Structures are given as structure tokens and as C-alpha cells.
């Protein structure tokens, strides 16, 4: 059996190496712990940076699209306003006694050629009544509005949806 005096002698000789080993072990554990934390935080930072870059790219794309949409809207709104102004001018002219005249040509059929009946020739002009003239202007306004809307949507699809 080992006596207490022998144990004390051994401890007096080995206390410094044991203490240094314990301190070194504690330091290794602490460094490893903080290294793992640093690696985890770096991964989190990289993911956050990636998400931030993606968000910034999305914001830039949305800004460009909004600017393009505003330009597209302004272009076709002006076009529609100009067409409506022209239609309003025609209505005012009609209100002031003007007439709506329609110029057209009629195809000549074989029966008309042989029958010899009198009729309108090609490139004839027909004057419409006030009511018919207003109806024509109303139809014209609707057609212009529909065509402008269609062109606007087609342009939107080409420039925004097919990117």
C-alpha cells in the first residue's frame, strides 16, 4: 500500500504538470467551443448575406419594372387622350352643324353590270344623319379605346411577362 507521505511527495513533484495539463485542457475546450460558434455564425452570416443580395436584386428588378410600366402607361394614356380629344373635336364639329361623311366603294357584281340600273359609282361619298354621325363617333371611340387597351396589354406581355 502507498503511504500518505509517498502520495504527498509525488503530488509535490507533479502538481505543476497536472495544473498545466488541466489549464491546457480547459483552454482546448474553450477554443473548440468558440471555434464552433464562429463557424456557425459565419454560416448564418453567409445565408443572411445571400438573402439580402437576393432581396436587393428583387427590389432593383421591381423598380425597373415599375419604371417601365409607368412609361408604358404614360405612352398609351397619352395616345388614348389624343384619340379622345380628336373624337371630341369631331363631336363639336358635328354639334356646330358639321356632317359625317363616309367615303367608300361598292364592288360591282355581275347583275349590276348587265341590268344597267343606275346606282352609286366607286369612291362615292355618303352623308350621314346627325344621329348616325353620333353613333359612328361613339363606335369609333369604343374601337380606339379597345385597340389602345389591346396594344397596351400586348406591350406589357412582351416587356414584362416574357422576361
What is the distance in angstroms between the CA of the first residue and the CA of the last residue of the chain?
A: 88
- Cα(23)–Cα(19) distance, integer angstroms: 6
Buried b (16+ CB within 10 A) or exposed e, 50-76: eeeeeeeeeeeeeeeeeeeeeebeeeb
What is the full per-residue pLDDT of the chain (163 aa) written as tens digits? 788 888 888 888 888 888 899 999 999 999 999 999 999 999 999 999 999 999 999 999 999 999 999 999 999 999 999 999 999 998 898 888 888 777 777 666 645 555 555 555 566 777 778 888 888 889 999 999 999 999 999 998 988 887 6
65-70: list long-range contacts, CB under 8 Å, 24+ apart.
65/160, 68/159, 68/160, 69/156, 69/160
Our measurement of the distance from residue 28's CA atom to the centroid of its chain's CA atoms, rounded to an integer in Å, reads 55
- If one counts every other C-beta atom within 10 angstroms of the C-beta of residue 37, the result is 10
- Cα(29)–Cα(35) distance, integer angstroms: 10
Amino acid at each position: 500500500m502507498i503511504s500518505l507521505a509517498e502520495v504527498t511527495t509525488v503530488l509535490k513533484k507533479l502538481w505543476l504538470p497536472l495544473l498545466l495539463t488541466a489549464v491546457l485542457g480547459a483552454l482546448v475546450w474553450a477554443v473548440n467551443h468558440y471555434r464552433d460558434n464562429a463557424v456557425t455564425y459565419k454560416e448564418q452570416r453567409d445565408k443572411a448575406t445571400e438573402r439580402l443580395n437576393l432581396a436587393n436584386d428583387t427590389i432593383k428588378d421591381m423598380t425597373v419594372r415599375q419604371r417601365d410600366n409607368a412609361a408604358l402607361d404614360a405612352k398609351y394614356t397619352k395616345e388614348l387622350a389624343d384619340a379622345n380629344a380628336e373624337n371630341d373635336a369631331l363631336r363639336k364639329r358635328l354639334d356646330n352643324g358639321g356632317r359625317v361623311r363616309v367615303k367608300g366603294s361598292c364592288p360591282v357584281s355581275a347583275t349590276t353590270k348587265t341590268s344597267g340600273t343606275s346606282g352609286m359609282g366607286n369612291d362615292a361619298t355618303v352623308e350621314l344623319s346627325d344621329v348616325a354621325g353620333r353613333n359612328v363617333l361613339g363606335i369609333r371611340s369604343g374601337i380606339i379605346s379597345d385597340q389602345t387597351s389591346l396594344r397596351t396589354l400586348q406591350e406589357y406581355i412582351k416587356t414584362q411577362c416574357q422576361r
